[in-house]
Amino acid sequence: MSTAVIRLWHSYIGLFIAPSVLFFALSGAVQIFSLHEAHGHYHPFAIVEKLSSVHKDQVFELGHHDAAPKSGADAGKPADSANPAGAKEDDDKTELSTFMLKGFFLLVALCLTVSTALGLWMGLTQTRRKGIGWLLVIAGVVVPLGLLVF
């Protein structure tokens, strides 16, 4: 197989999956900081929760993201009694590293979005077969939507 054929197939596959890659990158970025779940006084928009449900469970519906109830054995204990002495310092370190990791994954999601958008632009403008390119992008949107409502 020649390099030109491989490049053409790579372009076609990329154009077909680009809408899904964009969807997963953006909806995943929202989920990194749990913006798809209600907590405290925060309640996400219904569309954000529904799209998160598509990302996580492949269904377009509102999820029920309530905290798990405490078991009978844990119900009477204060929350801090489960941690041994000195665990507070470890929690601070864990919270900082978790926050930094979430920030890194947010950066990855945003870079994936930009890279995919640039790939779409290149695939649709730098080819002789623009009609096939647009058909593949449209199919990449219609096929998952059709399967979602089917």
Confidence (pTM):
0.71
Q: Confidence class of residue 20 from pLDDT cuts 50, 70 and 90?
A: very high
Q: How confident is the model at residue 82, as a pLDDT?
A: 53
Better-scored residue on pLDDT, 40 or 100? 100
Residues 51-60 have pLDDT tens digits of 888 887 778 8
Tell me the two tokens of residue 62.
């509102």
In a domain, 30, yes or no: yes
Better-scored residue on pLDDT, 31 or 72? 31
In a domain, 39, yes or no: no
In a domain, 142, yes or no: yes
Q: How confident is the model at residue 89, as a pLDDT?
A: 58
Secondary structure (DSSP) of 9-39: HHHHHHHHHHHHHHHHHHHHHHHHTTTTS-B
Q: How confident is the model at residue 149, as a pLDDT?
A: 85
Angle 113-117-123 from CA coordinates, rounded to 5° = 145
Tell me the two tokens of residue 84.
């041994």
Average pLDDT, the chain: 82
Residue 116: give the domain boundaries: 3-34+89-149
In a domain, 115, yes or no: yes
Better-scored residue on pLDDT, 21 or 44? 21
* CA Rg value for the chain: 22
In a domain, 134, yes or no: yes
Measure the CA–CA gap between 54 and 58, rounded to whole angstroms.
Answer: 4
Looking at the structure of the chain, the number of domains it has is 1
